[in-house]
Amino acid sequence: MLIKNSEKKLLWDIMAHSGMVIDKPCGGNGTCGKCKVKASGNLSPLSEAESNILTDEEKKNGVRLACRAFAFGDVEVDFCAKEGLNGDVKTDFCISESLNSVDKCIAAIDLGTTVIEANFYLPDAKTLLKHGKMLNPQGKFGADIISRIMFSKSEEGRDILRKELFSSIRNLAGDLYDKIEYSVVTGNTAMLHFYSGLDSGSIASYPFKPETLFGSWNENVYIPRCISAYVGADTTLAILASGMLSEGPSLLVDIGTNGEMALYSGGKLYVSSTAAGPAFEGASISHGMFAVSGAINHVSADGSYKTVGGEKPKGICASGLIDAICYMLKKGIISKDGYLEKDFPINESSVFISPQDVRNFQLGKAAIRAGIETLLKKAEISANELKKLYITGALGKNANMENCQKTGLIPKIPKEKIILLSNAALKGASMILEDRNNIKITEEIAKKAEYTELSLCDEFTKNYIEYISF
């Protein structure tokens, strides 16, 4: 496609203004390599980031990173072929009759950083009409929250992010959209600012005070109470859904880009979050992708693999990555300190794990584990004293917990203590629809929570360094 241009502009900006929006999960830092395009014209020389990421063959064929290459005039641009990274809506219809016969419905909506998921019920909140999920289209503006906050600095940016969310909800609801009486909308603090059209800039700068922590109705939408700038309503609802406050020492970990966690012990609720990075969502992994059709989601001890839907492998998701790394550790392909000599193809497929992939995984898992150990230390208990460990987020459904333990991602405790929650935040939102008394419980959870800023903890830094290795 030929795009007219008369001034120095990033390829990404030129393409976006022409309707060719391409993902840049790393926020335009030139580190993920997911915005590759074929481009020709009056272009800037290869940047350092491009030189490091692009192969010799790609450089020869005119491939550039849209987030790092500048055009100084008209430019010819074409997308590089990519599979498995689309944002198609996945829906399940849960009743046999036509949704056209439904007059009214209510909705529970989880605005995840990576995935938006929703349940639609009859007004009794007991009959599930439809469940749907899709990739968050905001991902093209950055896989991490900070990148999106930077994008939303302008009023135009805020408006774009807000429209993306409302469009997604409409797509998920389909014919039910105009029939929604009221809804419970949850997410992390920044996502809820994007949804509400609020300025989220203060979340990213000291003293990290958001415009609001929510916890109120806005017309026909209830947004639950957030705990802090980096521990949102999704964590509040996950705590509600887990029932962890009715038990002895228990830990909830949301494994993903933001790495929220909560520890209940001795009548106190400790919460925190850690910047685990986008490795678990696939943004910083060479062939990383979400758990959609064609994603390698399991690698066995003999090196064989399975894919979502049994299709030809297109990439690898978080659970598959963990299995693959465990296999490579067992075979001595990866050293204990994470050294991998060269790209390793998974059982002769076109999908490989690179040395940088291993490093990015190490950084993510070290951040999660260091956060866990720091909270345990703060509560003065050991992992063995936990009665329950709840895992939700990117690994909440598919991961092999034994392999998670072998990589050092989570503590080595008996497997019967580990409970997998597919989407605890969405379940919590649905619980509010079913019983409004749960609103009061979530408010009490948010008030009870004691937030720990890990970046200020020497213990976190020490643990982080310790858990970099396998």
Strands 90-93 and 105-111, how do they pair?
A: unpaired
Residues 54 and 109 in one domain: no
- Identify the residue whose tokens are 């009715």: 246
Residues 27 and 125 in one domain: no
Residues 190 and 169 in one domain: yes
The last residue of a domain, from among 191, 223, 255? 223
- Look at 144-158, 159-173, 390-404 and tell me which has the smallest mean pLDDT: 390-404
Residue 309 lies in a domain: no
Domain that holds residue 117: 90-223
Say how many C-beta atoms besides its own lie within 10 A of residue 100's C-beta.
8
The last residue of a domain, from among 194, 223, 252? 223
- Give tens-digit pLDDT for 2-29: 888 888 999 988 887 766 767 776 767 7
CATH number, domain with residue 96? 3.30.420.480
Going by pLDDT thresholds of 50, 70 and 90, the confidence category of residue 97 is low
pLDDT of residue 117 exceeding 60, the answer is yes
Half-sphere exposure of 79 (CA within 13 A, CB side): 11
193 or 397, greater pLDDT: 193
Say how many C-beta atoms besides its own lie within 10 A of residue 170's C-beta.
12
CATH number, domain with residue 31? 3.10.20.30
Residue 30 lies in a domain: yes
Q: What is the pLDDT of residue 109?
A: 98
Give the chain's domain count.
2
Residues 123 and 42 in one domain: no
Residues 99 and 214 in one domain: yes
> To which H or E segment does residue 461 belong?
helix 458-466
> Is the bond leading into 207 cis (omega within 30 degrees of zero)?
yes
Residues 217 and 118 in one domain: yes
- Kindly state the average pLDDT of the residues 50-62: 90
- Kindly state the average pLDDT of the residues 418-440: 95
Residue 71 lies in a domain: yes
Going by pLDDT thresholds of 50, 70 and 90, the confidence category of residue 98 is low
Residues 75 and 175 in one domain: no
Residue 454 lies in a domain: no
Going by pLDDT thresholds of 50, 70 and 90, the confidence category of residue 331 is very high
CA pair distance 282, 287, nearest whole angstrom: 7
Where helices occur in 120-232 by DSSP H, the ranges are 145-151, 155-173, 189-196
Q: Which residues pair with 37 in a beta bridge?
A: 64, 79
pLDDT of residue 190 exceeding 90, the answer is yes
Q: What is the pLDDT of residue 94?
A: 62
Mutual angle of helices 233-242 and 437-448, in 10-degree steps? 110
**Contact (Cβ atoms closer than 8 angstroms) between residue 374 and residue 463:** yes
Residues 44 and 99 in one domain: no
Residue 122 lies in a domain: yes
Residue 380 lies in a domain: no
Residues 53 and 170 in one domain: no
Residue 354 lies in a domain: no
Q: What is the pLDDT of residue 87?
A: 52
Going by pLDDT thresholds of 50, 70 and 90, the confidence category of residue 191 is very high
Residue 451 lies in a domain: no
The last residue of a domain, from among 53, 79, 105? 79
Cα torsion 67, 193, 430, 216 to 10°: value is 180
Half-sphere exposure of 63 (CA within 13 A, CB side): 20
CA pair distance 245, 249, nearest whole angstrom: 9
Residues 172 and 198 in one domain: yes
Residues 34 and 120 in one domain: no
Residues 129 and 198 in one domain: yes
